[in-house]
Amino acid sequence: MVNFAGTDFRDKSVIVTGGGKGIGRATCLAFANAGAKVLCADLDDPAGADVVAAASGLSGEIVYQHADVSTAAACKGLVDWAVANWGGVDVLINNVGIQPLNSYLPAHELPEEMWDRIINVNLKSGFLMTKYAAPVMTERGGGVIINTASVQGLQSAKGIAPYAASKGGMLSLTRQLALEYAADNIRVLAVNPGTIETPLAAAGTGNDYEKLRQEGAAAHPMGRIGKPEEIASVMLFLASDSASFMTGEFVNVDGGMMAKGAWAE
Ligand SMILES: NC(=O)c1ccc[n+]([C@@H]2O[C@H](COP(=O)([O-])OP(=O)(O)OC[C@H]3O[C@@H](n4cnc5c(N)ncnc54)[C@H](O)[C@@H]3O)[C@@H](O)[C@H]2O)c1
Three-state DSSP state, 62: strand
CA atoms within 13 A on the CB side of 212: 19
The beta strands (E) that lie in the chain are given as 13-17, 37-42, 61-66, 91-94, 143-148, 186-193, 249-253
Question: pLDDT tier at 263 (50, 70, 90 boundaries)?
Answer: confident
State whether the beta carbon of 225 lies less than 6 angstroms from ligand 1: no
State whether the beta carbon of 43 lies less than 6 angstroms from ligand 1: yes
Which H or E run includes 184? none
The preferred substitution site among 152, 173, 198 for testing ligand 1, maximizing ligand atoms within 8 Å of CB, is: 198
**The ligand 1 atom nearest the CA atom of 120:** 31
| pTM of the complete model | 0.97
Return d(Cα 113, Cα 133) in angstroms, integer: 28
* The one catalytic residue among 64, 132, 163, 181: 163
pLDDT of residue 219: 92
Phi, psi (deg, nearest 5) at residue 222: -75, -5
State whether the beta carbon of 196 lies less than 6 angstroms from ligand 1: yes
pLDDT of residue 264: 77
Tens-place pLDDT, residues 117-172: 999 999 999 999 999 999 999 999 999 999 999 999 999 999 999 999 999 999 99
Single-letter residue type at 3:
N
pLDDT of residue 5: 52
Q: For the beta carbon of residue 75, count every other beta carbon within 10 angstroms.
A: 27
CA atoms within 13 A on the CB side of 96: 30
Q: What is the mean pLDDT of the chain?
A: 96
Question: pLDDT tier at 1 (50, 70, 90 boundaries)?
Answer: low
Return d(Cα 214, Cα 210) in angstroms, integer: 6
Query: Has 163 been annotated as catalytic?
Result: yes
Q: Is 147 exposed, middle or buried (0-12, 13-18, 19+ CB in 10 A)?
A: buried
The preferred substitution site among 17, 23, 213, 220 for testing ligand 1, maximizing ligand atoms within 8 Å of CB, is: 23
Single-letter residue type at 90:
D
Q: Return the domain boundaries, the chain.
A: 13-254
pLDDT of residue 262: 81
Nearest CA to ligand 1 atom 23: 18
Examine the pLDDT at 13 and tell me if it is beyond 60: yes
**The ligand 1 atom nearest the CA atom of 167:** 43
Examine the pLDDT at 6 and tell me if it is beyond 70: no
Q: For the beta carbon of residue 250, count every other beta carbon within 10 angstroms.
A: 18
User: Higher-confidence residue: 265 or 39?
Assistant: 39
Beta bridge partners of 64: 40
DSSP state letter for 103? G
Tens-place pLDDT, residues 27-59: 999 999 999 999 999 999 999 999 999 999 999
- Would you say the C-alpha torsion 223, 228, 230, 235 has a positive or negative sign? positive
pLDDT of residue 25: 98
Largest CA distance in the chain: 54
pLDDT of residue 4: 58
Three-state DSSP state, 110: coil
Return d(Cα 82, Cα 14) in angstroms, integer: 8
Tens-place pLDDT, residues 169-227: 999 999 999 999 999 999 999 999 999 999 999 999 999 999 999 999 999 999 999 99
Single-letter residue type at 19:
G
CATH class of the domain comprising 13-254: alpha beta
